[in-house]
Structures are given as structure tokens and as C-alpha cells.
Chain A
Amino acid sequence: MKIEIKGLNQIYPNGNHALKNINLDFSTGMFGLLGPNGAGKSSLMRILVTLMKPTGGTVLVDGMDLQKHRAEIRSMIGYLPQDFRFFSSLKTWEFLDYSGSLAGMTNRRSRLAEVDRLLDQVGLLEVRDRQANRLSGGMKRRLGIAQALIGNPRIIIVDEPTTGLDPDERIRFRNILSQLSRNDVIIILSTHIVGDISSTCHGMALLNRGELVFSGSPGELVKSAEGHVFRMLLDHQEYDIIKEKYNIISTVPVDTGWDVQVVSDEFPGFRAEEITPNIEHAYVYYMEHKLKAYIID
């Protein structure tokens, strides 16, 4: 199972160049798509789920052109869009049944069993007969996940899935995706929350202003920040200086002043000690330093 994106471009009628010559491959497993708001993640997603036709470039799914084999590709897709709030007047189970039926589950009995299984999995079995519109925001999101999963899709595309979820639900959601990623499926997870890119993602890409700025594994991203993340204990005066000079990632007040983490290309002094970066550090380092340098170059 493989998705190949070649030279993908998207220009909206208002002139907004949302995607600029994107070249990217996805293979089985979970893939994280990271980038700030407006980076072009949703445009890429909408193209991948056949809601939108790209202005240029090709997308091949297992060698099939997305524009020519929509029927086949659509039958492989499970999609959870970014906005998923307003339902027609259907009950929770009906909405899922509707999706399942359109996903090709023709046998009513097995479809209904699958509906209940998924509702149970996302913790909505108790509200299966409630009107979908009357669910809470988190529940709606979970219903969205369930409908994306129904019919055993081979490509699962979730756009900002954890927005509005409480921490418990977020963890539960990550777990569901992790479990799924063990199967022969491609999961593309788009987010602007760095924490969503879990260690289970075997690959990720960083988009900024429509361009692909990084593509590789989360480890590679973290590695690129090694030697550039520092921790220091500062008094108030020092803190004011550092604040002006460096990107502070975290600030924790301590008795003598501040415990501060910064990213920097150079050693910042002030008794700084180099620490092992995590993905968040790496994201900030990448966006704030490598990208700036790239733009200036």
C-alpha cells in the first residue's frame, strides 16, 4: 500500500497558492502531517480524499491515479474532516450505518454488528439512539472517528482529529490509531498540535505556507535539533536578556528565578546545559531556525 504525491499544486480561484509542488510518499503505517494553520494541510487532505481536484500534479494510490480511479480509491478511504459538527437529523447509529452502507457494506446484519462494535470502541454505544446533533463536541468527534473507520478502509485520513478532545479522549484516540496502524493501512494524520505526532508515526512531513519543508521520520526531525536545545537557571535580569535574544520553549518559575529551555544555533551562555531534544523542541527549532534561515537564503 503506497501513496505517491508528485508535483502537487493547488491554486484557489482567489489566487491563494495553497500547495506548492509537493512531492511526498506515504507507505503503510501512520504518517503525521504537521504545520501551522494555513500551511496547506487541509488542502492536501481534501485532494487526497477526492473532495477537490488539484490544479496540478498527480497522486497515485497503489499506482492508480487519483483523478482516474476515484471510485476505487474512494472505496479505500475513511475520512474525518476538520469540521465535523452539523449533522442531518439522524441518530448516532443511523449515521454510522449510512456511512457503512455507502462504504460498501451490503450485508445489513454484519453492518449493524460493525456499527455497534465501532460505537463501543469509541465509547458511544450508550448513546447509539441519540440524535447525532445532540451529542457533545467530543462525542461528535468520536462519532467522526468511528465513521472514518467503518468498512475497514485502507487509507484513513484524519484532519485535526484531536481538536476539542479532552486529554483522556485524545489518548484513547491515539491508541485506536496506533492499533490500526499495525494493519496494512495508511493513516494520515494532519495536525497543528505537535503532541499528536506520536512516536507511533513512522513518518511525518512538515508543511509551511504550502511547501513541504521536512519529510522523514519523527526521529530524524528530533535529530536535526540535537545540540540546539539548552536549559538554564536564570535570575530576573538574565531572563529579560535571554527573552529578547532566544526562542524560549518553556519557562518554569523557581525560588531563585526561572528554569528556562531555549533553542538556539549557538551556545547561549548563562550557565546553559545542552539537553536531549524532543519532537516539540525539534518542531520549534525547525520552524524558527532552519526555516527562517531557509527563507533568508
Chain B
Amino acid sequence: MSFLHNAGTVAKYEAVILRRSWFFRLFAIGALFIFIPLNIALFSPVGEQPWEFISISSSLPLVNLFLLNIGQAILVIFLAADFLRRDKKLDTNEVLYTRSVSNFEYVIGKTWGILRLFLGLNLFILLIALIVNITQKNMRVDLLSYLEYILIITVPTIVFSLGLAFLLMSVIRNQAVTFMVLLGIAALDMFWLWHRAGSIFDYMAFGLPVFKSDIIGFDNPDLIFSQRLFYFFLGIASIMCTVLMFKRLPQSRLHTSVAVIFLALSVAASAYFGFHTFSIHEFIHLTKKEVIETNRSHESRRFPVVTDAFIDLLHKGESIEATARLILRNDDKDTLQAYLFSLNPALKVSSVMSNGKSLKYNTDNFLIDISPETPLLPGMTDSVTISYAGKINEAFCAPDVSDNLRDNINRNAMLTVSKRQYFLNDKMLLLTPETHWYPVASLNYYPSNPARIKIDFTNYTLRAKSEKQLTAVSQGIRLFTDEGFTFLPETPLTGLTLAMGNYLSDTLKVDSVTYITHYFPGNDYYKKELSELKDTLPYLVSGIMKDLETSFSARYPFKKLSIIEVPVQFYSYSRKSTQTRAEIQPSLILAPEKLSMMENAGFARRFKNQKKRMERNDQVITDKELQIRLFNDFLRENFISGSNMVYSRDAQSETMYMEPSRYRLGPSFYFYRNNFYSSEYPAINAVFESHLQHLIQEGPGTGYMSMFGNISEPDKANLVLRNSSLSEVLSRNPKGDTIRIVLGVKGDWLFNLLRAGTGRDEFNKWFRKYCEENEFRTIELMKFREDLKNNSGFDFYPYLENWYKGKEQPGFIISGLKVTETVIEERARYQVSFTASNPEPVHGVFNIAFRGGQTSQGAGRPRFDGSGPAAGQAQGRGMDASDLEKIVLLEPAESRLITITTDQRPRTVVVNTLFSRNIPGELTFPVNDISQQGKNLSFQSSDVKKTIQLPADNPGELIVDNEDSGFNPGEEIIEAPLKRILGITNRKNKTYLAVSQWNIPEYWQPVVSAVYYGKYVRSAVYTRAGTGSLELSWKTEIKTPGYYDVFCYAGKSFRRMSVRNDSRGSAPGERSSGSDGEKDEDKRFTDFHFKIFHDGGFDDITFDFQNAEPEWNNLGRFYISSDSAKVTLSNKSSGKLVIGDAIKWVRVE
């Protein structure tokens, strides 16, 4: 009693004192000013109501506590560090020390006082949240989550912060130093430590995935509770240390002993939970390592093909029991001595039978190595029955992907969401093929060639029963019997997915496809929100499907398309063997609960917003029309096009790129339908997939990416391939999106070659039919070669060796562009001609497209297949490549005069050099002059071979580009005094970028753009304007002394036609911006200061870049003999940026 009374008294008055402190008052008032508007603005009916937040009920308390916790974790440091200082400073506190209170009671009282004050504030903020929650009709109220998040987020954070602050203050006894140390720890957590070692350092749960699903609740209670208890007990231990170290004579042996016991217990508990938290991470880490090594040691093994599988599965809550009877065929040329299967390592095999007899088998990690009674001869079939039971080890699924939280972070707005590959509990079962929940006849990863994949098209028959009476959903024809659910095969599949839950279903049959939605009770809100669509729905769905089929030039191959709702934590990692994500399965889409993390969901709010906007603009639209628009936007943005920005790191750099939406249905039209296989070129399927599902993104170019100065994906890929072959890049297994973009470029090259060799339309027609005829079948590449050769006479195989293993890149020089107009039969026709040269010793393929008519470059909405006008880089991708005028195959060291005749007036000629040394790889040439050629003149119709001719070979002209050896970027000088003192050097990125909107480098950063000068690499270097401390120089050797005109190249966009009413068209290569406004000249470049060295010393020349022409600009005439040909450019400028490109000396005759 005395303890409670004393500690309670201290706590009571400590809370009063804190409540009256300015720190706390300001914080509390600030919190109210932030959180009341925030809750109203985000969650209330009058607010923005972002669907990702309001769809899942836990997000409301979580958003509030997540934000509040960051503030209070810092504030608590100030308050706690004040604790001992105040005791020291306030002489009146001495009288309290003479009272009969033990140090234990005193410190506990103080701690409880601070804690309860913060808890009060947290409860108050949550009360606001709860009121908003109740007023929000679209959102459930999950009262329990309010309590859970206080316990998970607030309590451990405050107890730990308090304890640490107390302890440090007791040890260091200096408030300023304690502040700095604690603030440093808080900052470290938020900026550096939160994602490391499985979140073990994340004391404020800044990045710990605590997002809770409305279907299954927390997916990772083990991690959450052990991590939070680790910090809670660490805090308690620190508080007990403070009790023992408290600068006041102790009075109670009992309490001192209690403190010692608590200290020991809490140290032990925190050690246990800390170790447990770390071991969760370590287990994942080790599993991945072991899985990779097991895969590595079996890479050379051959596998049977599974033609049929009969799986019996019993769901037992947190585990499964299953039997799989597999029909095997040996498609190999050699006899199979053993059958190798991989099964999730947490599933344990109990027996392997064949024809009623037990077979011998060995297991190695996830591999089952079965010895058949007799070896399986080529072309023969056999069957095995494997019984197994257990759980799922999800670290197995993506062994090459780091488990670091920050890599591939899954965020719902600001909140970190777990990345679950499966669910197996009383409420939910979700098993995708990636988990290998049934025996799969292949490895799940090939370390020496991560793009390799083995795919079987199998007829799956599944019988599934749940002890928890859950409804089963899978592919195939569903039957329900007393035995449970049975799924009979409709089409062969690359893998089988099983979901079990309290599912309800809706079915719609349109054309020959049945569309089924499987959702959890109450989650079919969209029916109400899109109620007007009822009658129109079949037409809409049919229209979308037809669009898809047209886009991919293929028929949807399945009889069903099911959308299955899965908990929000479901997440698939990108793989290197395919770009298909696990959210899309054959004839299945796994959609997050209430479509929460999908684009354009939350129809009611969107409806309201758009309606308002339209009313403001006096636009009239019926509710039905608007709902149709919303529904179409949703489908297109998720299942057809749409991309997400991804932040990725690899060893060299940190990049951001756009990743295709993971719900895109593209795989249904290639990856789940066809499979090309080659043991010689194992990446072939990934390459076909990349091209046919047009998975490379639209270039630098669009939207945010250009603002960060990123270059386009094909350019990045070509830089990667500059000194490495495709096979080398694959075997290096680089992180990030490197493999994806390299496969994309190589795929585009290969298909452009096939079209160039066969004829575009001929190839397209033949290939479409070929894929259809070989639906759900694996096609050997050699067979494909033979079939194509027989059909068209073109053999692509000789090119493949170099395509896969060659390091050389072709390079293209385009010159002499000429457009001629004539009138034939009252119609204007145009001939475009230019010379294309490939001086390099390897074959090169490039394609040509026109952008003509009234469409200005960059304008208009990109078409969903990425081939729209703004999507320049996508040209010639996909099954049809119908946007191309011509594909040209150039031999090594070949020059050719290319001529193309067109009916439409071309405004811009775009040459996509695909795989080449050209950076940027897309060359755009504005058509400025069109010569008239009288009437009815016939055009030359075929290309003419020419001797190789390179520009810039004019005698008397000397050009030094920034890529040449005569160019010197000077020494790097650190200007910032602090950086100089601390010895911080600039993070220099050698790779090319584009001129960035932000984060301007303090050094000369190489940048590429079609507007710059260059042979292949059209590059320049730029930097932030400074005082003249940085200097570039161009030097050349002048053989003939005399007068020279000195020119500098102004790499800048042409002014747009609409801006200046002259005859010039849009910019050559002006492609780096998404919005029209950004295409105007960059006003950050103003005056540049050149120094031109000549025989009389040097002249300072100020060059007005703003008003310069986008070409060579004369800087003056100078007498120069051999040793003085030098030009320098300093970073001095009154503008913001300085750019240096190329210098030309032209001898004056």
C-alpha cells in the first residue's frame, strides 16, 4: 500500500508538473492542431478519404499513433533528460528527498507520471480519431486496434525512451550531452537503422510492419510482440538501473532488492525477446542462403515434366496435410535416373509411393530426390504419390530477395505493411505456386542464371477440405461435396493457387469467359458504389477484355477470370526469371482486401470529387456515365496499364524507377499461355515475356522520373551492356531492376531482328498463329527456329550467339535527313530518306517511327499498351509493333540510304536504336524543311547500300567533345566549408543522368540528352553555378597555325513552334519532359564564362546561353598555333547551372 501511495503521489505531481511545462503544452497544443485537422481532412466525410486509409479500419488509429509517436519519442527525451537536472536545480526538491520514500518508489512514480501523461494524450488523440471513425460510414470501427496500437507503439517507445534517458542522465550527468545522444539515437532509428537486421533497432516502431488486416488481424504477431517487448523490457531495465544509481541515499533494502530482481528479470526478458527478434531475421536470412546453396548444387539436374497432378489437401488451421499424385513424362533426350522435386522446406514428406509401392527417397532441404523402380526412358510416363504435412517457410519463396524491410518496401501511404507470401491460419489459407505447397518439378531459383525458369503446363485436380469450415477457391471447375471442394482442370496451368476463407462469390458470364469475384462478407462495397453499372457491366467487361486482346494480339486463353480478395499483407516479390508477380496467377487475380492498395479504388469518394469538379466546369455527365468512367479507370490503371514508382538500391547506386502494376493481366496472354525453352539460352522465355508483355517502361521521361534526372530504362540497360554480354550480366545477378531492363532491351532487339528478317506483318501474323497453336505447351527454341525458317526462310539462330554472349554493341550515325513531298492522285505523299551507318563490328537493328499530323510530341494520353505518342521508348514493342514504319538490320560496318514513303506528313522522325552504343538510344529528328517535288513523281522504294561515311570528318574542323580524350573535367574542389572541414567528398556518380530539377551536383555530372553533341553518346557535363572554382577544359593539337573560329555547342532544346512562330519544329531529342511547360528552355542556364587560349594569351568570353542557338555558336576568331589550342569553362555564372559540351575550332582559309 505504502508503495502504491508513495509512487502514486510522485506520479500524480510529476504528471502535474509535466503537464504545466512549456515543452508539453506546446506539444499537446501542436498535436491537437495537427491531429484534429488531419483526422478531419483524411478520414471524415468532409475530408479527402484516401481509399488506402479508409478501406482498412486499423489505419485510422495507426496513422494517428504513428505520427504522434515520432513526436512524442523526441519530446520524451527532453522531458526525461530534464528529470535529474530538475532535481538538481530545484532546491525545494530536497525536502521531498528527506521524506520517507524509497528511490524505487520515487523513480517508478516519476516514470509512471510521465507515462500516464503521454498515455492520456494518446488516448485523447485516439478519441478524436474514434469520433471521426464513428462518423465515417465507409469505415469499420476496430476498437481493439486502438488499444493494441497504444500497447504496441506508444508504451514500449516511451518506456524505452524514458529508461534510456534516465540512465544516460544518471551516467553522463550532463543534460546537453544526454540530449544529443538521445536525439542522435532517435534520428538514427528514423533515417538509418529502422530497416536493418529485421527491425531490431527500430525502437519507435517507425518502420516495423504493424498494419493490421480486417480479415486476419496481425500477420506477424510473433515479430511485433517480441520486438516491442524487447524495447519495453530494455526500458524497464534502464529504469531499474536508474533506481539503483539514483543520487539519494536509499532507504529500503526490500525495494532495492526488488529493483535488482526486476533489473535482472527485465535484462533477461529483453535479451530473450531481442534474441528472438533477431533470430526471426536470422532464420529468414539463413533459410535464403541455404535455399540458394541447395539450388546451386542441383542446377545441372534434369527434371521430369509434370503433365497431371491430383492433390488432396486438408487445412488444419496453422498446418496442412496433403497428398499429391503426379503424372510425369520424360521430355528429355536422356533417361531420367531419379525424379527431383522441390517442396516448401517446412512441409515434411512422410511417404513416396508409385503404383502401390513405396519408393526410396532422400530429402535435401526443400528437395525430394526420388529413386524410381526403373529409370524413366525418354518420352515415357510414370506416376508418384507424395504425402506430406506441415507449415510454410516463406523465406524459401524468394531466396535471392533481401529481407531488408527497406528493399521493396510495402507501404500503404506512410504505413509499412508486411510482405506475406502466404497465409495459413484458422481464418485464412492462401497458397500460391511460389510457396511450392505441392511438389514442383523444378528448382525455384537458378543462382548462376537467375533469368532461367522451367515451366510445366499441368492439368491440376484438387480436393481441398478445411477443418475450420472455410470455403475453398482455386482454378478449374469447382464442385462441392461432403468431401470438401473439388476443382477439376479446365486448361493446363503453370501453377495452382488455393485460397480458403469465409468467401462469398459473385459470377458474371460475358462472351465465353466467366468472371467470378470471391470476397469476404461486407467487402463488396463496390456494388453499392457502382450500382448504376448493373446492366452495363457485361458490356464494360467485354469491352475491356477486347481491348486487352487487341493490345496483346491474342485471345484470352482461360475460361474463367477470378478475383480473390486476400489480406492486405499479401505481397509478391519481383523475380528475375519472370516479371510476372504472384498477384496474377493463371485465370486468377489476388486482390488486396477491399482493393485497398489498388489504384483508383474507393469509388464513392472519386465519384463525389469528379462530380463536383465537373459541375464546377459546367460539364454535364450522368451518374451512370461517371461510374462507367470510374470503373474503366480502375480496371485500366490496375489490370491493363499503370505503374508504381519503386525505390531501389544496388551496389552502385540508388535509383527510382517505374515498375509495371503488379496486377497487369499481361501474363495471361503470354507467360501463362506460352513457354519458349532453350537449354542453351535459358533466359529466352524471360526475354520473350518482356517484349510481348511490353514490360519496359516509357522512358526517362515521363513524370517524376525526369525530375530526378533519371535516364530512360533502355539507356540504362545499354550502359550496363556496354562492356558486358547478356550472359555475363545475368550471371552477375545484379540487384535492382538491372535484369529487368537488360532483358527488355535484348528482347526488343531480338524481336526487331525477327521482324526485320521476316517482314513485320508477315512475322506478326505467323507468330500470333504459332503461339495460338502451341497454347499451354513448352516450345523448344530449336523447333521455333526450324518452324520460322521453314515459313520465312529467315534463320535467327546465327545471331543468337552474339546476342547472348557478345560484348560489342552496334552504334548508329544518322545523317542527311531529307523529306520530299509530291502529289499523287490528288493526295500528298512524303518520302523520308536519311543515311544510317553502323561503323561497329557487330550487326545492328533499329526501327523508325514517325510522329506526324497534329499530334505534338509528348501530348496526348499514352495508350495503355505503352505504344502511344508519349511513350517513345516503347516503340516497336509487343506482338504487333504496328507503330513502326520500318525496321532496319545493318551489317557490321555498313552504311545505307534509307527511304520510307508515307501518306502522313511527318513532323518528327524517331529512330529507336534498341540495343546500341547510342545514348540516348532514341534519336528524334524534327522535320524542318520539306522539299516539294512536283506532281506524280515516283519515289525510290528500296534502301541503297553506301560506303561507310562518318560526319565530322570535314578538313579544317577540329572538334573536342566531352567524351574525347582532349576534354578534362578538372579537379573536384569542395566548396562547402563544413564538407571541407569534415573531409566529405561529393558522392560522384559516374553513370549518366539527365539534368535534374532538384539536387544539383556540385561537381561536373555527365548528362545525356539527344540535344547534346556526341557521336554515339550525346552527353554533356553540368554543375551548380559557383564562384569559378570548377573548370572544364578542351584541348586539341593544331597542326596548321592560323586564324581559327572557335565554336561551342549549345546543347539545348529548340524553342517550341507554338512559342515562337518560326519554321522550326520541336526539339531534336526533346523528350525528357512529361509536361509541355517543362519543354521550354531551362532558364537556369544563363551566362557562361569561357576562356579561349590563343597565341596572344587568352580572352575571356561571356556566352549568353539563353539566347544562343541550339547548335554550334561562334565565340570569336583567334590566331592559334599548335601549343595554345585550349578553351576552358568555369562554373561561374549568374544563373543556377552551367553546362559544357563540345568545342570546335574551324580554320579560316
Which A residues fall within an 8 A CB radius of B? 49-53, 70-72, 74-75, 77, 79-81, 83-90, 94-95, 98-99, 101-104, 106, 132, 144, 147-148
Contact = CB atoms under 8 A, between A and B. Distances in A.
A292 to B, nearest CB: 35
22 contacts: A51-B97, A51-B248, A53-B249, A70-B249, A71-B252, A75-B99, A79-B95, A84-B91, A84-B95, A86-B90, A88-B13, A88-B17, A88-B86, A88-B90, A89-B20, A89-B21, A98-B13, A99-B95, A102-B6, A102-B100, A103-B100, A148-B95
Contact of B95 (A71, A75, A80, A104): A80
A237 to B, nearest CB: 51
A136 B288 CA distance: 72
B562 interface: no
B23 to A, nearest CB: 12
B9 interface: yes
Contacts of B95: 79-81, 84, 99, 144, 147-148
B98 A74 contact: yes
A77 B6 CA distance: 16
B97 to A, nearest CB: 6
A252 B779 CA distance: 127
A43 to B, nearest CB: 14
A83 B98 CA distance: 15
Given A70-B250, A90-B17, A98-B9, A77 B89 contact: no
Interface of B: 1, 5-6, 9-10, 13, 16-17, 20-21, 86, 89-102, 248-252
A86 B99 contact: no
B137 to A, nearest CB: 44
Contacts of B101: 74, 102
A90 B21 CA distance: 11
A83 B93 CA distance: 11
B100 A71 contact: yes
A106 B5 contact: yes
Contacts of A144: 92, 95
Contacts of A70: 100, 249-251
**Shortest 8 CB-CB contacts between residues of A and residues of B:** A70-B251, A102-B99, A75-B100, A74-B100, A89-B20, A101-B9, A83-B91, A71-B251
Nearest to A50: B249
Contact of A90 (B6, B13, B86, B102): B13
A65 B86 CA distance: 31
B94 A81 contact: yes
Contacts of A50: 98, 249, 251
Contact of B249 (A51, A72, A95, A99): A51
Given A83-B91, A98-B13, A77 B98 contact: yes
A50 B13 CA distance: 23
Contacts of B92: 84-88, 95, 132, 144
A104 B101 CA distance: 9
B98 A51 contact: yes
Nearest to B86: A88
A171 B625 CA distance: 93
Nearest to A95: B92
A85 B92 CA distance: 7
B872 to A, nearest CB: 67
Contact of B9 (A49, A89, A95, A102): A102
Contacts of A53: 249
A75 B498 CA distance: 71
B165 to A, nearest CB: 18
Contacts of B250: 70
A76 to B, nearest CB: 8
Contacts of A80: 95
Contacts of B9: 98, 101-102
A32 to B, nearest CB: 21
Contacts of B89: 86
Contacts of A74: 98-101, 251
A90 B86 CA distance: 14
Nearest to A151: B99
A88 B94 CA distance: 12
A103 to B, nearest CB: 6
Nearest to A81: B94
Contacts of A79: 94-95, 98
B104 to A, nearest CB: 12
B94 A71 contact: no
A129 to B, nearest CB: 13
A169 B63 CA distance: 58
Which has the most chain A C-beta neighbours within 10 Å: B6, B96, B250? B96
A89 B13 CA distance: 10
B25 to A, nearest CB: 10
A87 B5 contact: no
Contact of B102 (A49, A71, A83, A132): A71
Contacts of A95: 92
Which has the most chain B C-beta neighbours within 10 Å: A72, A94, A98? A98
Given A53-B249, A102-B6, A106-B5, A89 B17 contact: yes
A42 B249 CA distance: 17
Contacts of B91: 81, 83-86
B249 A98 contact: no
B99 A88 contact: no
A98 B15 CA distance: 12
Which has the most chain A C-beta neighbours within 10 Å: B16, B92, B250? B92
Contact of A98 (B20, B96, B97, B248): B96
B90 A87 contact: yes
A102 B96 contact: yes
B16 A90 contact: yes
Nearest to A79: B98
A86 B91 CA distance: 6
Given A74-B98, A103-B99, A94 B5 contact: no
A19 B278 CA distance: 56
Which has the most chain A C-beta neighbours within 10 Å: B1, B95, B248, B250? B95
Nearest to B1: A106
A16 B94 CA distance: 22
Contacts of A101: 5, 9
Given A86-B92, A101-B9, 14 more contacts: A50-B98, A52-B249, A71-B102, A71-B252, A74-B98, A74-B100, A84-B95, A85-B92, A88-B17, A88-B90, A95-B92, A99-B96, A102-B9, A103-B100
Nearest to B10: A102
A51 B248 CA distance: 7
B15 to A, nearest CB: 11
B828 to A, nearest CB: 88
Contacts of B20: 89
A74 B248 CA distance: 13
B92 to A, nearest CB: 5
Contacts of A71: 100, 102, 251-252
A89 B102 CA distance: 23
A83 B101 CA distance: 22
B1045 to A, nearest CB: 80
Contacts of B93: 88
